Structure 1
């Protein structure tokens, strides 16, 4: 990867300096490469997509892809990592506010659906994990466990505070996670519903079934 050091890269009492123009340019190129790769994997499948296809889509050479990210498996792993980082951050305590378990679960659903409708989120749910390196596969499973545990905790919290009803926390978690993950299979950016509208309609379906009686 490109790096930059020099007078502009020193720290100050005000904190670290902003990235240099060269660093920003390298990051932008890397983002463009990962977006193009994830888009190709979503549209044509991982197995049917070659590095040549991704390079042609971007109008660059194969060595450029290898320089900024790596080969095909590295491209896939980097796309998955972007989505996994976002999912992990979305369920952290500081990312979820609200008084009741119901309010907090609603926010998790909104954030999760938003991530799932990104190209990296769709790539994560559409490409089989057998294509991943062991390290990325392990991270994928760890984040899945983290998200499921967070949903279970919020369901229990809602039951305790009276804002939710669930006779079976485990089954409710499976139903919510499964419904949110399935969005990646049919969502298209050109569709009639925005990610926000999808999240709200999905939440309405969940909330009705979980409404206290």
Structure 2
């Protein structure tokens, strides 16, 4: 597995204690461990209050080891953000590829956003609520979370509904926007189950898309 691939697998499943100094790890494993430690520190303290000393201590490594992988705090933050964006985009792509029934595809795509928001609060806040959007590299990564998801859905709608790319993209933007906002609202404000929230949101989306265009799998 490449170093990038290893970084993409960073999740909320981090250890509750530092690994300990003096333990040798392959470079890809060490990088993943450092990203996991950084996630904990950024989530607890925010970007501006987080210190590289804290991240190194959390990971159980020396600061020189940390700097061997990441030249600075912003580089570390961007690498972590990119890994979260990759996880979300991959989830959307897999949701679309998991079935040929378009009604289920819509539900799966909506569910991918709810899963992302609910599985790791720190990850979704970095992607959707980053306070560093003034940094061009951060803004680029945040924009990719939406644009790559829209691209994947646009391709599916174009192939199955016979729409031109512009119309398909507009529908895809609507589905992604609805999914993001609904998932974030549900997490912050609703007591209903995730399953019910996904069903409600996807039903609304399907009745709009499925009722107006000749997609397979219609009720």
| Interval of TM-score (by shorter of Structure 1 and Structure 2) | 0.5 to 0.7
| 1:79-119: CA deviation from partner (whole Å, max 9, x where unpaired) | 11111222232333795232332211222223333333235
Task: Count matched residues.
Answer: 176
Q: How does 1:75-114 map to 2 (within 5 A)?
A: 75-92=76-93, 96-114=97-115
Contact 2:56 2:63 in 1 (8 A): yes
Work out which of the residue numbers 168, 175, 179 in structure 2 matches 1:176.
179
**2:109 maps to 1:115:** no
Distance 1:157 1:32 in 2: 40
1:136 to partner: Cα distance: 4.3
Q: Which runs of 5+ in 1 are unaligned?
A: 4-22, 161-167
Work out which of the residue numbers 136, 143, 150 in structure 1 matches 2:145.
143
**2:196 maps to 1:201:** yes
Q: Which runs of 5+ in 2 are unaligned?
A: 4-23, 163-169, 212-219
Contact 1:40 1:49 in 2 (8 A): yes
Contact 1:46 1:127 in 2 (8 A): no
Moved more, 170-179 or 32-41: 170-179
Q: What is the RMSD of the two structures over their aligned residues, measured on CA atoms?
A: 3.8
Q: How does 1:1-213 map to 2 (within 5 A)?
A: 25-92=26-93, 96-116=97-117, 117-118=119-120, 119-130=122-133, 132=135, 134-151=136-153, 169=171, 173-181=176-184, 186=188, 198=194, 200-210=195-205, 212=207
Distance 1:55 1:209 in 2: 46
Tell me, what secondary structure is at the counterpart of 1:127?
Answer: coil
Distance 1:102 1:202 in 2: 16
Distance 1:211 1:92 in 2: 18
Contact 1:77 1:136 in 2 (8 A): yes
Distance 2:26 2:142 in 1: 29
| 1:179-212: CA deviation from partner (whole Å, max 9, x where unpaired) | 23456x759xxxx99xxx63x2321221343464
Query: With structure 1 as the length reference, what TM-score do the two structures score?
Result: 0.63
